[in-house]
Structure 1
Amino acid sequence: MRRAAVCLALLLCLLWTGAQGEDGGGTGKKEGEFDIQGAHDQSSSQTQMRTDIWAELKKLRDMAIEHRIKIQRLEQDNTATQVRLTASESKNAVLETKMSSSEKEVEEVKRENAAFESRMSSSEKEVEEVKRENAAFESRMSSSEKEVEELQRENADRPQVAFSAGLTNAGAVGPFTTATTLKFSKVFTNIGQAYNPTTGIFTAPVRGVYYFRFNAWETRLTWTSIELFHNDKRIMVISDLHDGTGHVSASSAMVLQLEKGDVVYIVMPSSFGVYDDVFNRIIFSGFLLFPQ
């Protein structure tokens, strides 16, 4: 539009310049003279020039109109573009807001994941610690089970020896004129059959350490006494004197190391007596502590 206006202005200037030149032209006529032929030619030239100028002006007008229409279309397009751009900017603002919100959510999720991973790491460490403790416990359990199995095997292989027997139900025993081996005939326990109630003698089936316990009991007004023998050797003597009403009693125990085949028994010396009845007042007991 601006270019068309500029061109129109230039053409007007040219037209005015041409008209000035024709008015003061060089016809050579003196003032007051009149050239009919020249006037006719000049009029024809000016008419032709005006026609050409108007034609050019029309073209310029048409060009200006066309340019104005194009400019209007461009302005419309520009307005539509501005609208779309504004809408895009609004959408971008919304997207940026959403992006910012999403980034915050992502950061929050990252923090939660970090906290979760920390807890998971701590839990895994605790699980590893529990596994180590369980492994140690299982190891101890396995060791204990092996020890128990070993003890069971040892116990299974170890000879089992234990006995306990009462003297008699007859009441008074003795006194005798000679020392007498007491035969404890009431057998309560005789594991391993190492005690013989017929002879009153215990025979060690294996080499080892044994425990023995025995006692004496008397109701008569007399001395009571018994002796513990290992093979032919007297090991211990217990005795007491009954000098009043009621009864007297004495007891003792001994741990002996015996060889296989050694014997242990109870002897009542001469002139002494004991008393036993259904209440089992006198007991001779023994058992193997451990073999050697």
Structure 2
Amino acid sequence: MRRAAAFLVLLLCLYWTRAQGESGGVTGNDITQTEVQSDILGVIATSDQTNITPDIWAELKELRDMAIKHSVELSNSKSKMEKLEQENTAIQDRLTASESNNAVLETRMNTSENEVEELKRQNADRPKVAFSLGLTDAGRIGPFNTDITLKFSKVFTNFGQAYSPTTGLFTAPVRGVYYFSFNIMDQRKNVWTGVYLYHNDKRLLLNDDYNDEHANNRISNSLALQLEKGDLVYMVLPAHRSVFDDANDHTTFNGFLLFPL
């Protein structure tokens, strides 16, 4: 197409040169030829645009589409990066919170361990005092004409060795509050049974009862006492009273330290 246009231009130039040489100037034909030349040049331009411009626009359109595509991809990538940064920030916040919680838990654990160690130390320093005793396997004891101290000879437990089976006396090893309890029995009919509980020389309790024809009379009691170091606690069989015990341990005496003071 471009070659055909060039050929037409060449013909026009030859024709126009010949006409000008014959007339010696510009005529109406020259104007017509000029217009024709312009028309032909327009055709050439149009022809060039027809052949070249669509290709350029297609390439520009392709470049534009590629730019738009890359812009969208870049925008998506930016959004993904922002999302990842947000997730990373959230993870870091969780890690920070977990570290804080771990620090709190570790502090609590250390505090608990210290408290346990302190309790162990206090427990180790605290005197261990407890006893549980049976009276005898001999059966009936009493009645006597005078009061006698009962000597519980069967020792089940005697932590701290504060009770003496030989004397029947409990001696407080430390100042504190102690708990004591006892059970007594007499299986005979028509007799009195009973005991006293003494603190030093002071009689605290008297528990007695008359065994009628049904026999097997039982008595029990308990109390808490504040004792000074060296104080004595013991049980006494009153005059004209009796108790009974055998291998079944019907008559017992028990005590232990509640807490020191």
TM value normalised by structure 2: 0.78
How far residue 217 of structure 1 moved from its aligned partner, in angstroms, is: 1.0
Looking at structure 2, the residues matched to 91 and 170 of structure 1 have their Cα atoms a distance apart, in angstroms, of 125
**1:250 partner SS:** strand
Candidates 17, 22, 29, aligned match of 1:12: 22
Greater radius of gyration (CA): 1
Which whole-Å CA distance do the structure 2 matches of 1:116 and 1:240 have between them?
A: 89
Corresponding position of 2:153: 185
Match of 2:122 in 1: 154
Tell me which residue corresponds to 2:92. Answer: 124
Q: Which residue, 247, 250, 259 being the options, matches 2:219?
A: 250
Percent identity over paired residues: 44
Partner of 2:240: 271
TM-score, normalised by the number of residues in structure 1 = 0.71
Q: Within 5 Å, which residues of 2 pair with 1:6-85?
A: 8-14=18-24, 83=52
- Show the counterpart of 2:29: none
Whole-angstrom distance in 1 between the partners of 2:56 and 2:20 = 45
Query: Structure 2 CA distance, aligned partners of 1:232 and 1:88?
Result: 127
Match of 1:26 in 2: none
Residue 200 of structure 2 is aligned with which of 221, 231, 245?
Answer: 231
Q: What amino acid maps onto 1:254 in structure 2?
A: L
SS class of match (1:271): coil
Q: Does 1:133 align with 2:101?
A: yes
Q: 1:245-287 CA distances to partner (integer Å, 9 max, x unpaired)?
A: 2411111111111111111111111100011111111111111
Of 179-188 and 101-110, deviating more is 101-110
Structure 2 residue aligned with 1:287: 256
SS of corresponding position for 1:265: strand
Residues 1:143 and 2:111 are matched in the alignment: yes
Report the equivalent of 1:105. 73
**1:141 match: secondary structure:** helix
Mapped partners of 2:211, 2:56: distance in 1: 128
Aligned residues: 233
Match of 1:29 in 2: none
Whole-angstrom distance in 2 between the partners of 1:201 and 1:88:
122
After superposition, the C-alpha distances for 1:145-174 in whole angstroms (9 at most, x for unaligned) are 111110101111111111111101111111
| Superposed CA RMSD | 2.8
Aligned to 2:181: 213
Question: Which 5+ residue runs of structure 2 have no aligned equivalent?
Answer: 1-8, 26-43
Q: Which amino acid aligns with 2:22?
A: L
Work out the CA distance in 1 between the residues paired with 2:242 and 2:229: 32
Structure 1 segments, 4+ long, off by >6 Å, are none
